[in-house]
Every structure is written in structure tokens, then in C-alpha cells.
Chains A and B, each alone.
Chain A
Amino acid sequence: MADAALSVRIQQGFQEEVDETKLLDCMKCGFCLPACPTYVETKNEMHSPRGRISIMKAVREGDIPFDDSVEEALDLCLGCRACEPACPAGVEYGSLLESARNVISREKNPTIKERAVKHTAFEHLFKDQWKMNSLVGSIRVYQRSGMKSIVDKLQLTRVLPEILSELESVMPEIQKRQYTAQSQNSSKRNFKVAFLSGCLMNTVFSKTNDSTILLMERLGCEVVEPKGQACCGALHGHSGELESAKENAKRNIDLFLEEEVDFIVNNAGGCGAFLSEYDHLLKDDPNYKELAEEFSNKIIDISSLLSKLDLFNYTLKTKNQEQYVLTYQDSCHLRNVNRVFEEPRDILKSVHGAEYVEMKDADQCCGSAGVYNLVNDEMSMKILDRKMTHVEDTQAQIVITSNPGCLLQMKLGIKRAGLENEMKALHIVDFINDYLEIQI
């Protein structure tokens, strides 16, 4: 049981930071229920958007104490924000959840399991790219002997769930980045863009980042990749570590606005959404408010940029006239926050030699959700296994994603479903680069 003093502190925190008017925006119509993966899975209002909103409100007003059940309800939320586009009343659920989680994480000593995961994630891996990169060096060493030994090194074995070793088996070989942006003064320059490489993308999926830059350059962009970028802060923000998220945001704003670019490009849906909300994150900071708005307005995801670069006007066809069936799993934040879902589909549908099949409930979260699959592994795997039945129904050979977390999770899903021989999961950029010819 959570203790009474903590409960009082959290109630006070909610009163100060969880906006009452935003809570009242919810009129409890329930239109969001079918969109919410945790409700669909449990059929329990405690795990629905309007349930969680009413719980936050009840804690705020002191109708119920902050206890284990409240914590469970808020913890099990994926933060996928599928409830937002489903809500005709315009409830800003993401912002409510973020402020509630921020209060809870500040006031409470996280559980050992969470602490371990977050500590590793935030302090060791995601603090800045320099550390992440240097860690990758060591990860490569460890990878030879298996992920377990890193886990041992970081003393996580006691607390990390089974799923970690499962994830390990689907992790790509970690490589150092091979390619850096070329400074070019090409005459056919379309846009000047800055690439935000993302910490997970720059390490675990470094090849995808190389491909992203190559692709943009091929389509006539001048690409710069500012040195010393910080992690976007999404993982911090979504886990209630708002202060560190703000620090990262400011560092990125300073760095990126120095470059005079048309767009700031990212290839990870989760990062992109958070980056596009820096304006919201820093709205109360007089020094950064306007800069953050300028920054957020320049954020674009790679699929949207490819659309702006008229990728469909070039002929896209599969290499060696191979035939594929493709399907696409939405990145929650790309879809629900940035409302980008047509662009990647349009690209896939335009490929000669590939048949695109839309998956049932492609817009529902795969259960990856940041570090959710590590902390709430049971619910995450239920959601993933349901997702895999829909994936299987499409009979696709390639499942395309737009975000590293989703990509890992889909790889895991394919393994769990025993489909490794029939199917693979790829980031959209890798698919374009490795499987297609572009006739420019």
C-alpha cells in the first residue's frame, strides 16, 4: 500500500499540475473506448481513457487516495494517445497523463524494477548521444557473448523480465554509424534539412540512419547532422521525468536553430511527436517559448518529407522484379500526435512489384510503447499477440514500421508467432533503400 503522506503529496501535486479544465473536457461519452488497446484487451473501464481521466480527477479532488490500484491504472496506459484522434470533444489526454506521471514520479520512489529500467535507460543510455555511442562500443563487445552479460554488468538480472532475453534475440547486430552527411552544393538542391538522429536509431538501428541520409541526399536535399544532439526527451517525458526532458529539449533547440534549415527531419515516430511538442513542453519558459515554437514547426518525419520530395513521381520498383506483399503498422505517435498515416501508405502503395494489404487495426498500438514492454511485459505481450493475428491475416512478407520501438516489437512478435521464415519487419527507409530501385 502506498502511504498516506505520499497520497497527500500526490493529491497536492495533481491540484497544482493536472489541469482541471482539461479533465472536465471529458464528457464520458466513451467514444474513445474502441480505440484504446488496454480497454480492448481488458474490457475494464479502469483501463480506458475515460476511466483513467476520472481516476486522475478523483485523486485530484481527494475522493480516493493515491493507492496501488490508481498506480496500476495509470501505469498500464501505453501512452499511445490513440484516444485523442478518437475523441470528438478534443480531450488532451496525452498532456493530462504526462502531468500526472510527472507528479507521481517526482513524489514517489519508483519500484525497484522501474528504477532499474529507467536508470539504465535514462542515465546510461539516453542522457546524450556521446554516452550512447560510447556504450555502443561496449555493447558490441558484449553482444558477442550475449545481451545477458550487459544486463549482468548493469546489475539488472534480478529485476528485468523474461522479455529482455526475448528482445535480445531479435536485436540487430549493433553497428557504429558508417555514413555521415556530405556537405554538398548540388544545384538540384530541394531543401536544406537537419537530421535528428535519435539515440536508439543512431545505435541499435544505425544502418537505418545511414540509409535515411543517403535517401534524402539522393532526392536532392542538403543534409546537416548537428553534433552533440541530445535524446529528444520522449522517454523521459513519458515516464514522468519532465525536468530532464526539458533540458534535452533546450539543448536541441539551441543546436538545431543555429542551422538555417527548412526542416528538421527524424525517422522515429516516437521522437518526432515529442519534438513537435517542444512548444508545449516549454510553454512556460519565457526564454524558450518562441524558439520552441519555431523548432516544433520545422519538425517533419521522413515519410512526409519523402512525399514533399515527390517520391511517388519517380518510379519505385522492387529490385530484381521480386514480388512482395506488404503491410504497415502505424507508429502510434506518428499517427495520433502528428496525424501522419497516409504518407507512408501512399509510398508503399506506389511500389511496382509489391502488393499493399492494409492490416486490421493497424492504427492500434503494438504494445511496445517506450519502455512499457519492459515494465508491463504481461499486458504488452497480450497486445502484441493479438496484433500478430492481424498481421498474419494479411499474409504479408514484410511488415513496415516507422519507429524503432515498433520495429523491435514487430520482430519480437514475428518470432513469438513462429513466422520467422515467412515474414520480416523493416523500417520504411530500409525497405526503400534495400529492396527498391528508384528511377530518378
Chain B
Amino acid sequence: MKRIVGKENVQTSNAAKISYSFDATAGFQHSPDVIISPENAEQIQAIVKVCHENKIPIVPRGSGTNLAAGTTPNEGGVVLLFNHLDKILELDEENLTITVQPGVITQEVIEYVENKDLFYPPDPSSKKISTIGGNVNENSGGLRGLKYGVTKDYVLGVKAVLSNGEILHTGGKLAKDVAGYDLTNLLVGSEGTLAIITEITLKLLPKPTYKKTILTMFDSLELAGDAVSQIISKKIIPTTLEFMDQGTVRVVEEFNKIGLPTDCEAILLIEQDGSEETVREEMKAISNICSQVGATEIHEAEDEYQAEQLRTARRDALSALARLRPTTILEDATVPRSKIAEMVREINRISDKYDVMIQTFGHAGDGNLHPTCLTDLRNEKEMERVEHALDEIFQASIDLGGTITGEHGVGEMKAPYLEWKVGKTGIDLMKNIKQAIDPHNILNPGKIFAKSTKKRVVVNNG
């Protein structure tokens, strides 16, 4: 490996191995054998060939912020970094595309294109640290997902190294492309298990000219949920429709100190963008709906600075919740939008039933909630209850027509639950695809597919 990338790009010290043994997922940790930082795609090819021959696992890693134990090297091997592959390669203003290397930071891309009056909408809360390579492999969402979709809606093509070292090009700067199977979309969200992505071409939009941001407060979680369903059923699609419960608002306020209301049960952060006239009209309609549903207060951001403070506060939610207890386990249950109030109720019921602390925030408009369990890994009894509670939350969301993960991926963490959602046929097909593309199972092994599926819980509402 040193011969391929130079010795300064190979690390094997104890301190380095520990530093690459985790991601943002609580309770999963395993050290790799070596950490490698290639400088270009050719070096990646050479590394993959060595690993292919010797059946050595490779775990591609962006910034390690994923929440599904997607980069924990649970079988050791190589952690492959993209810290040298962090450049923006080309902005094509005629075709409205940008081509980047996988290690570039999401925020950098967003700012770069906005300076040219263009727009790259997917903005996960972790955007100031996450990489585009990570976003593509998790198919990440963000605060603007309701109106603008998620990462996959913007990936036009990729270059990737396959597990045998061959190079694959998919898609291109094309608005349309039906030449064969859609391999681009197969790789998007593949969590580093199918190929190593070395270049990505993204679609851009013109930057919206106007936006408005409001914060609405409710006396109950259900009322906030009702407001969400009502807004969408009135055929208004806001850019952002984010939810935080009281516990979340309190810790976020403790950190940000921007005067968020800590006495109401739930808040919705709502934003609309577009032409000034439409935005004004729709925001008025949204405010009316919220009042009718029973919002206690509606507060409009005075300027972009205040609006950004509110968005930042929402982005800090997960990390700020970690203040409450030593261990933070976050879920990603997603249901059809109309079921959001019901799902919130279910979460509260389950939290009471198992006596575990759960605070909820999330992308309400996407039906994507993040019930977050605050607990302590050292307390075995409590952890048992937590596990039951989480199982039941997964089951509840599937029963409401939802899924076990909306945007964080399966990784190692949710692998035992995947079959609940996709069924045996789904799992078998996915396994066949994996087998065909990576026959030696060297790319991010132990992720997505579990050795065994968890037994389903029987939901007992009594």
C-alpha cells in the first residue's frame, strides 16, 4: 500500500485506528487495520486490486457522520479516505451541472454554486462536515427535501471503481438517459457496498429569488402534526416543514440562546421560496392554516440572519439532545405525510410504555421523524427496554405504511430490520445484486445485510 500511495498516506498507529473506528452512531465501534488516503482514482484502482486478490475488506469513508454504523470497519481491513479527493472539478453553467470529487464538503458545493446564482438543494443538517460522496451513498435528505427532493434527485452520473478494479462511468450531463438499467441510481444509496465512487456530476437549479421563514408554536404534538397534513392537503408544498418537540427545543435553546419558545409543546419551522408574490401568498395561507389548527403563536423571521439562526438551531437538534444523557440513539422512522400525527402519538405511547426518554424532531413535511432515545449504554436493564421500544417504533412505522429508515441508511445498525421492510424477496434480490457486483464481498462488508433478521415484535397496544 505504501508503494501505491506513499508512506505519508498510510496510517497504522493505535491512535489513528481508534480515530477511524467509529462514526456518529452510538454503540458501534471496531478498529480497521490500516487507513489509506489515496490521491487519485488510479491509486484507488490499484488499492482495490490488491484487496480483491487478498480478500481484504475496504470501508470507504467520507466524514464519518452517518447515523447507521455505515463506516465502522466491523471486519477490520482498510478504511479508505477521500481527504485528498476534495476538489470541485467543473461548473458547467450551460448545462447547469457541477462535477466534483467525492471528498468535497457539501456546504462548499452549496456556497460555491450560490455565488453564481445557482442552487444545489440537498442540505443535510450535517452539511458543514458531510461529504458529497457520503451524501450520495446514503442518499441523504435535508431541510429542503419536501419541495426539492433528496440527493438522488440531483445525481446525474458517477465515475466509480468496481471491486475488481475496473472503472465504471454511469450517466452524464444529461437531462434524459434511458440507455439500459439505471446504474447511477443503483449506486446512489448503496452505502459503499457496491463501488467506490471517485467522481460525481450533480444537477443544479436556478437560485430562488425570494424566501420567507416562520416559526409556529403549538400546545400539542398532534396539533403540529395536523397542521403539516393540512398544509399539504391544501396543495401547498413549502421548501421546509420541520418539527421539534419541547424537549428538543429546550436543549437547542440552551446551546444557541436565540430566544426559542421553551414553554410550548411543539414548534414547526416553515419556509417557502420562489417568486416574491407567490411566496407571500402561500405563506399567508400557511399562517392561516396554522392559526385555524390552533397555533398559539406565529413568528416571522425579520431577515435572513434570523432565518439562518432558526435553521441552524434546527440543525443542531440531534447533537444538542446529547446533552441530556450519555448515549444518544436516533431513529429515522418515515411514514406517509398524512400519518405524521399518528406516528407522533405512537412514539409517545411507546416511550411511556417502556419508560424510556424519547425526544422527537425531524423533517415533518417528509413524514420523516427522528425519535431520539436518550439513554446510557452502561445501564443494561435500561438498554433492554430501549431495544424493545425501538423495535416497536420500527414496527409502528411499517404498520402505518412507512419504512425503517428515510434518509440515514441501513448500515450495520439497521441491517437486522431490513427484511421487515423489504421482505424476503426484496432481501434475496438485493443480495444477488451485491453478489454479482462484489463477489468476494470486500466492499463495506457486514453492512445492509445482517447475519440474521430480528424477530418481529408483536405490537400489543393494551
**Chain A residues with a Cβ under 8 A of chain B:** 21, 24-31, 33-34, 43-46, 48, 51, 54-55, 58, 63-65, 67-70, 72-73, 87-90
A55 and B320 contacting across the interface, CB-CB below 8 Å: no
CB distance from A11 to the nearest CB of B (A): 13
Which chain A residues lie closer than 8 Å to B327 at the CB level?
A: 24
Contacts of A64 in B (CB 8 A): 14-15, 17-18
In the complex, the chain B residue whose C-beta lies closest to that of A58 is: B18
In contact, A45 and B326 (Cβ under 8 angstroms): no
Per-residue interface assignment for chain B, residues 312 to 328, with 1 indicating a CB less than 8 Å from any chain A CB and 0 otherwise: 00001011101100111
Which chain B residue lies CB-closest to A68? B13
Top 10 A-B pairs, shortest CB-CB distance: A69-B13, A88-B319, A51-B19, A69-B15, A89-B322, A24-B326, A45-B19, A27-B322, A43-B83, A64-B14
Whether A27 lies near B328 (C-beta < 8 A) is: yes
Q: B15's contact among A46, A87, A89, by CB below 8 Å, is which?
A: A46
Bin chain B's interface residue count.
Answer: 35 or more
Inter-chain CA distance A180–B283, complex, in Å, is 64
Instruction: Take A54-B21, A89-B319 as given contacts and tell me if A29 and B15 are in contact as well, using a CB distance cutoff of 8 Å.
Output: no
Q: Which residues of A contact B11 (CB under 8 A)?
A: 44, 46
Stretch from B22-30, B136-144, B181-189, B429-437 contacting the other chain: B22-30
Contact B322 A25 (CB under 8 A): yes
Find out whether the CB atom of B319 lies under 8 angstroms from the CB atom of A46. Answer: no
Query: Does B63 interact with chain A (Cβ within 8 Å)?
Result: yes
Q: Inside 8 A of A30's CB, which chain B residues have their CB?
A: 24, 63-65, 126, 129
Residues of A within 8 A of B16 (CB): 44-46, 69
Q: Most chain-A CB neighbours within 10 Å: which of B13, B15, B83, B129? A: B15
* Bound-state Cα–Cα, A24 to B377, Å: 10
Contact of B65 with A90 in the complex, beta carbons under 8 Å: no
CB of A34 within 8 A of CB of B126, answer no
Chain A min CB distance to B101 (Å): 13
Interface: B210 (CB within 8 A): no
Answer whether residue B128 sits at the interface, using C-beta atoms and an 8 A cutoff.
yes
Contacting residues, chain A, for B120 (C-beta < 8 A)? none
Give chain B residues whose Cβ lies under 8 Å from the Cβ of A21: 326
Contact pick for A55, options B15, B23, B26, CB 8 Å: B15
Q: Are A90 and B255 in contact (CB under 8 A)?
A: yes
From the candidates B64, B128, B318, name the one contacting A45 in the complex (CB within 8 A). Answer: B64
B20 contacts chain A at the CB level, 8 A cutoff = yes
B319 touching A27 by the CB < 8 A rule? yes
Chain A residues with Cβ below 8 Å from B14 are 58, 64-65, 67, 69-70
User: Are A33 and B22 interface neighbours, CB within 8 A?
Assistant: no
A89 to B319, CA, bound (A): 5
User: A54-B18, A55-B19 are known contacts. Are A87 and B128 too (CB-CB below 8 A)?
Assistant: no
- Does B328 contact A34, Cβ atoms closer than 8 Å? no
Q: Which residues of A contact B22 (CB under 8 A)?
A: 28, 54
B319 touches which of A29, A43, A65 (Cβ 8 Å): A29
Q: Assuming A24-B327, A30-B24, A30-B65, is B18 touching A88 (CB within 8 A)? A: no
Q: Can you show 25 pairs from A to B with CB atoms below 8 A apart?
A: A24-B327, A27-B318, A27-B328, A28-B22, A28-B24, A30-B24, A31-B126, A31-B316, A33-B129, A34-B128, A43-B86, A44-B83, A45-B19, A45-B20, A45-B64, A46-B16, A58-B18, A63-B18, A64-B14, A64-B15, A67-B15, A73-B15, A87-B319, A88-B319, A88-B322
Given A87-B319, A89-B319, A90-B323, decide whether A29 and B126 contact each other with a Cβ distance below 8 A: yes
Measured between C-beta atoms, what is the minimum distance from B388 to chain A in Å? 22
Nearest CB of B to A378, in Å: 14
Task: Identify the closest chain A residue to B83 (Cβ).
Answer: A43
A89 touches B126 (CB 8 A): no
Question: In the bound complex, how far is the Cα of B126 from the Cα of A54, in angstroms?
Answer: 20
Given A30-B63, A34-B129, A43-B83, A88-B255 contact (CB < 8 Å): yes
Task: List CB contacts (< 8 Å) of B275-332 with chain A.
Answer: 316, 318-320, 322-323, 326-328
The residue in chain A whose Cβ has the minimal distance to the Cβ of B327 is A24
Q: Can you name the residue of chain B whose Cβ is closest to the Cβ of A71?
A: B15
Which of B18, B22, B316, B326 has the most chain A CB atoms closer than 10 A to its own CB?
A: B18
Residues of A within 8 A of B316 (CB): 31, 88
In the complex, which residue of chain A has the Cβ closest to the Cβ of B324? A89
Q: Are A72 and B19 in contact (CB under 8 A)?
A: no
Q: In the complex, what residues of A have CB within 8 A of residue B318's CB?
A: 27, 29
- The CA-CA distance from A24 to B25 in the complex, in Å, is 13
Interchain CB contact under 8 A, A27 and B24: yes
User: Closest approach, in angstroms, between the C-beta of B337 and any C-beta of chain A?
Assistant: 27
Q: Can you name 12 extra interface pairs (CB under 8 A) apart from A29-B126, A89-B323?
A: A28-B23, A29-B318, A29-B322, A31-B129, A54-B22, A64-B15, A67-B13, A69-B13, A69-B16, A73-B19, A88-B320, A90-B320
Chain B residue contacts of A58, Cβ below 8 A:
14, 18
Question: Which residues from chain A contact B15 at a C-beta distance below 8 Å?
Answer: 46, 51, 55, 64, 67, 69-70, 72-73
- List the B side residues contacting A89 at CB < 8 Å: 319-320, 322-323
Shortest CB distance A365–B (Å) = 19
For residue B366, give the distance in angstroms from its CB to the closest CB of chain A. 21
Closest to B61 in A: A45
Q: A88 CA to B317 CA in the complex, in Å?
A: 8
In the complex, which residues of chain B have a beta carbon less than 8 angstroms from the beta carbon of A31?
A: 126, 128-129, 316, 319
Q: Please, how many angstroms separate the alpha-carbon atoms of A34 and B65 in the complex?
A: 13
A34 neighbours in B (Cβ, 8 Å): 128-129
**Closest residue of A by beta carbon distance from B329:** A27
Contact partners of B326 in chain A: CB under 8 A: 21, 24-25
Q: Which residues of A contact B24 (CB under 8 A)?
A: 27-30
Q: Which A residues lie within 8 Å of B126 (CB)? A: 29-31
B326's nearest neighbour on chain A, judged by CB, is A24
Residues of B within 8 A of A26 (CB): 322
What is the CA–CA distance of A43 and B14 in the complex, to the nearest angstrom?
17
**How long is the Cα–Cα vector from A351 to B265 in the complex, in angstroms?**
47
Give every chain A residue within 8 A of B323 (Cβ-Cβ).
25, 88-90
Bound together, the chains give a CA A45 to CA B319 distance in angstroms of 18
Which residues of the partner chain B approach A43 to less than 8 Å between Cβ atoms? 83, 86
A54 to B320, CA, bound (A): 19
CB contacts (< 8 Å) of B25 on chain A: these are 28
| Chain A nearest CB, measured from B30 CB (Å) | 11
Residue of A with least CB distance to B323? A90
Known: A33-B63, A34-B129, A88-B316. A27 touches B26 (CB 8 A): yes
1/0 per residue B234-253: CB within 8 Å of A?
00000000000000000010
A88–B13 alpha-carbon span in the complex (Å):
30
Neighbouring A residues of B17 by C-beta, 8 Å:
64
What's the nearest-Cβ distance from chain A to residue B383, in Å? Answer: 14
Q: Which of chain B's residues have a CB closer than 8 A to the CB of A33?
A: 63, 129
A255 to chain B, nearest CB (A): 35
* Residue in B closest to A47 when the chains form the complex, CB atoms: B19
Residues of B within 8 A of A67 (CB): 13-15
Contacts of B26 in A (CB 8 A): 27-28
In the docked arrangement, what's the CA distance between A133 and B444, Å?
62
Residues of B within 8 Å of A29, CB to CB, are: 24, 65, 126, 318-319, 322
Among B13, B26, B327, the most chain A Cβ lie within 10 Å of the Cβ of B13
Cβ distance B26 to chain A, nearest Cβ, rounded Å: 7
Enumerate chain B residues within 8 angstroms of A87, measured Cβ to Cβ: 319
Whether A46 contacts B322 by the Cβ 8 Å rule is no
* A70 to B13 CA separation, bound complex (whole angstroms): 9
Q: Cα distance A280–B218 when bound, in Å?
A: 40
Chain B residues in 8 Å Cβ range of A70 = 14-15
Q: Which B-chain residue is minimally distant from A33 (CB atoms)?
A: B129
CA distance A417 to B83 in the complex (A): 27
Q: Are A46 and B19 in contact (CB under 8 A)?
A: yes
